[in-house]
Chain A
Amino acid sequence: ETGVTQTPRHLVMGMTNKKSLKCEQHLGHNAMYWYKQSAKKPLELMFVYNFKEQTENNSVPSRFSPECPNSSHLFLHLHTLQPEDSALYLCASSHGLDTGELFFGEGSRLTVL
């Protein structure tokens, strides 16, 4: 149990579907992150939120749309994805932006057909 919960754990979607990934943290942290993990590639930072405000958008295509309604919840809305978007999407949280100590969820495995 990490204190960071991601749902769903697995998701299969077609290129025309719209779906969302959800992340919830019970650690009282102020910062939340989305990372993309693909085989044999570095973890790619996608988005960062600090106190519900987006502080980083790492040139992510607009077919990925984040939402952070409060410091405990983070969503990643998906629409018209491509097969190359298939990956493990990791959510993480941290107390602040300067600790480097992130607490990760177990990830949502996304397959785009």
Chain B
Amino acid sequence: AQSVSQHNHHVILSEAASLELGCNYSYGGTVNLFWYVQYPGQHLQLLLKYFSGDPLVKGIKGFEAEFIKSKFSFNLRKPSVQWSDTAEYFCAALISGGYNKLIFGAGTRLAVHP
């Protein structure tokens, strides 16, 4: 079955630390990949997306993600986190089919301590 897996449910970092959140998907066909973020008390919003081309995608607020097809992975990275990055991060895959479906992972809750 098609699915998206996020390895860490909770991550705690200090400010200025580097961040990498893992995401793997299980689907052998064409897939487009996304990271969404949900700040405390706010709605889910798009952070970045990969459709084709350069596998290293840059998003808002200094985030980037790298698509590695051979590993079915799309990890999210940021070299130096800030307290304001405290949020829940969701990886998602758009599975192509009769009707496209956007499938989400379970999310990773990031807490950044000042």
A residues with CB within 8 A of B: 2, 4, 33, 35, 40-43, 45, 48, 50, 55-56, 90, 92, 97-98, 100-107
User: Would you call the interface of chain B mostly helix, strand, loop, or mixed?
Assistant: strand
Candidates B43, B44, B49, B106; contact of A100 at CB < 8 Å: B49
Q: Min CB distance, A11 to chain B, in Å?
A: 18
CB-based contact A41/B106 at 8 Å:
yes
B105 touches A101 (CB 8 A): no
> Residues of A contacting B92 with CB < 8 Å?
100
Q: Given the interface contacts A104-B45, A106-B42, does A42 sit within 8 Å of B102 by beta carbon?
A: no
| Given A42-B3, A98-B100, A107-B43: 11 more A-B contacts, CB < 8 Å | A42-B105, A42-B107, A43-B90, A45-B101, A45-B103, A97-B99, A100-B34, A100-B102, A102-B44, A104-B43, A106-B42
In the bound complex, residues from chain B placing their C-beta under 8 Å from that of A100 are: 32, 34, 49, 92, 94, 100, 102
Count of A-B residue pairs with CB < 8 Å: 54
- In the complex formed, the residue of A with least CB distance to B4 is A42
In the assembled complex, which residues on chain B have CB atoms less than 8 Å from the CB atom of A42? 3-4, 103-107
In the assembled complex, 24 residue pairs joining A and B whose CB atoms fall closer than 8 Å, in A order, are A41-B106, A42-B4, A42-B103, A42-B105, A42-B106, A42-B107, A43-B90, A43-B104, A43-B107, A45-B101, A48-B101, A50-B99, A56-B99, A56-B101, A90-B44, A97-B99, A100-B32, A100-B49, A100-B92, A101-B34, A101-B46, A102-B102, A103-B45, A104-B45
Q: How far is the CA of A27 from the CA of B108 in the complex (A)?
A: 29
